[in-house]
């Protein structure tokens, strides 16, 4: 059973231009949440939330402009749609990007692209994030940015000694890591609740289907 499958207001969209689209769709499906790919203006109708996936931020920024989706995102946001940006998605949502011009400017943070270095400096770790999960959350950083500053209306969810890795305001969630590349569903569940889904007891106690690093590939074949 997909929770909310008969109501577009209980649907979460994933921006399908470039990046880790299928991995997010797989996690939402495992939670029993109705989801859809968002590629054109009509796809924004009625969705409760939008995930902007990780990928290449410059490429995503250009594609958003080429397909004239910036106005659609801003329009849906003004009507209450929540947005979650992972890695490159967080860069697109930031109010400030060190050395570059920001795009959407929907959360008062400054962010540094490739904050850890090159692709070779990618790494995995885990951390306790009490607001998101009672258990340690696995974290995958791939050529990740760093959040260097947050405004007074931004709540920090995960801070390390020299950078911030996750933050939010009332409508926007940003993570510089990739929850969709781990079996953990904690951040997808957290975002669903932020989007107005019912309390945790309405989600399945056991995720639908087992996860592997290749679980998402079946969705890629359906694209």
Known active-site residue 112: no
C-alpha pair distances (Å), 24 with each of 20, 143, 144 = 7, 18, 17
* DSSP letter string, 187-221: HHHHHHHHTTPPPGGGS-SS-SS---TTTTHHHHT
d(CA 126, CA 222): 32
Count of residues for the chain?
Answer: 223
Active-site residue (options: 87, 112, 184, 188): 87
**Sign for the pseudo-dihedral over CA of 155, 150, 95, 60:** negative
- Of residues 178, 184, 188, 195, which has the active-site annotation? 178
**Active-site entry in 23, 112, 168, 180:** 180
The answer to whether 24 is a known catalytic residue is no
**Is 87 one of the catalytic residues?**
yes
- The residues annotated with a catalytic role in the active site are 87, 178, 180
């Amino acid at each position: 059973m997909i929770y909310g499958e008969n109501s577009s207001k209980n649907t979460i969209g994933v921006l399908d231009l470039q990046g880790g689209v299928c991995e997010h769709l797989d996690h939402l499906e495992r939670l029993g949440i109705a989801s859809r790919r968002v590629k054109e203006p009509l796809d924004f109708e009625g969705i409760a939330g939008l995930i902007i996936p990780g990928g290449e931020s410059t490429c995503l920024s250009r594609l958003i402009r080429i397909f004239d989706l910036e106005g659609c995102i801003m329009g849906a946001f003004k009507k209450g749609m929540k947005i979650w940006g992972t890695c490159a998605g967080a860069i697109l949502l930031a109010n400030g990007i060190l050395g570059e011009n920001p795009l959407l400017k929907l959360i008062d943070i400054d962010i540094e692209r490739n904050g850890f270095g090159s692709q070779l400096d990618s790494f995995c770790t885990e951390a306790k994030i009490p607001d998101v999960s009672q258990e340690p959350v696995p974290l995958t950083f791939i050529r990740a940015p760093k959040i260097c500053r947050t405004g007074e209306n931004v709540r920090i969810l995960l801070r390390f000694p020299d950078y911030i890795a996750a933050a939010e305001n009332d409508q926007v969630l940003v993570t510089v890591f990739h929850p969709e590349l781990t079996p953990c569903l904690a951040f997808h569940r957290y975002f669903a609740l932020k989007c107005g889904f019912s309390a945790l007891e309405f989600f399945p106690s056991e995720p639908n289907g087992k996860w592997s690093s290749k679980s998402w590939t079946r969705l890629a074949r359906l694209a």
